[in-house]
Amino acid sequence: MTRSIYLFRKIVYNFTLKNIVLKGNTMHIEPGMVDATKIALSYATASASILAIAKISYDSIKITTLLSFLSKSILASFMVFVFFQVFPHYPVGVSEVHLIMGSTLFLLFGLAPASIGLLLGLLAQGLLFAPFDLPQYGMNITTLIVPLLAISYLAKKIIPQDVAYTQLEYAQVLKLSLVYQGGIVSWVAFWALYGQGFAMANLVAIASFGSAYMLVVIIEPLADLALLALAKSYKNSFSSTQLLEKRLYNRG
C-alpha cells in the first residue's frame, strides 16, 4: 500500500510539475484562519452537509442503480482531484483561486454523485498531498457542498421539466455558475470573518479573493456549454450510459 501511494504521488507529481508546487499546496481555507477554539463550528456545518448528502445519495440510488451511482461518484471524485491538484491555482487574499467546476459536476453527474465527488476528491488531495490542510476539511466541505445544494434548488426553478440539460442556454448555465462560485466566495468570507474578525487588512484580503474568484464565472459557463454540446453530439453513444446524469438527455 505504501509503495502504491508513493508511485501514485510520483506519477501525479511528474504530470503536474509545470503547473503546481506541491509544497504549500492548499485547499480553500488556509491553516490558522480559524483557530482550534472556534473550529468546532466547522464540524457542525460539515456534519449537516454530510447528512444531507447521505439522504440525497440514498434517494438517488433508489431511482437509478447502485452501480450507476458508484460509477458517477468515482468519475466525479477523479475530476475534483484534478481540479484541486492538477489545474493551476493561485493564492489571492484570504485563500486560493481554484477552477472548481461545480456546475459542471452537477450537470454531468447529478447532485448526489457530484457531492460525493467533492467529498472524496478533496479528501484524497488532502491525504496524499496536503495533510496540513486536513483540520480545515470541515470548513472546506461546507464551502463546497452548500453552494452545490443551492444550484440544485436553482436548477429546479430555472430549468423547465421538459428541457434536457443538453438544451440549456448560456443564461441558464451562467446563473448556475454565479450561484455556485458566489456561494464559495460567501462561505470563505464567512470563515475569514469568523476566524480573523473585521480588521481592515482582513476585509481587503477578502475583497481581493472575491474579486479574483469571480473570474472563474467567465470560464465555467463556457466550459459547461462546450461539454453539453459535446454530450449532445454523442447522444447516440451516451444517452443510455450509466456514467452520466440521465437528465442530460431526458426530460425531468
pLDDT of residue 69 exceeding 90, the answer is yes
Detail the DSSP E strand segments found in the chain.
90-92, 95-97
Contact call for residues 210 and 189 (beta carbons, < 8 A): yes
pLDDT tens for residues 26-49? 456 777 788 888 899 999 999 999
* pLDDT level of residue 85 (50, 70, 90 thresholds): confident
CATH number at residue 222: 1.10.1760.20
Please give the angle made by the CA atoms of 222, 223 and 225, to the nearest 5 degrees: 65
**Residue 15 in domain:** no
Total count of domains within the chain: 1
**Residue 148 in domain:** yes
**Residue 142 in domain:** yes
**Residue 30 in domain:** no
Q: Retrieve residue 85's grid coordinates.
A: 491538484
Cα separation, 94 vs 29, in Å, equals 8
Contacts of the segment 206-211: beta carbons below 8 A, 24+ positions apart: 206/93, 206/94, 207/93, 208/92, 208/93, 208/94, 209/92, 209/93, 209/94, 209/95, 209/97, 209/185, 210/93, 210/185
Contact call for residues 245 and 111 (beta carbons, < 8 A): no
Summarize the confidence of residues 2-28 as an average pLDDT: 44
Please give the pLDDT value at position 252: 65
**Residue 145 in domain:** yes
On the CB side of 131, CA atoms within 13 Å amount to: 2
Please give the pLDDT value at position 1: 44
Burial of 36 (0-12, 13-18, 19+ CB in 10 A): exposed
* Single-letter code of the amino acid located at 141: I
**Residue 16 in domain:** no
Return the bridge partners of 91, or none.
96
**Residue 104 in domain:** yes
**Residue 93 in domain:** yes
pTM of the model: 0.86
Residues 6+ positions from 92 with CB-CB distance below 8 Å: 208, 209, 212, 213
pLDDT tens for residues 119-157? 999 999 889 887 888 889 999 999 999 999 999 999 999
Cα separation, 245 vs 214, in Å, equals 27
Please give the pLDDT value at position 186: 94
Please give the angle made by the CA atoms of 61, 127 and 28, to the nearest 5 degrees: 85
Give the residue numbers spanning the domain of 89.
2-7+37-237
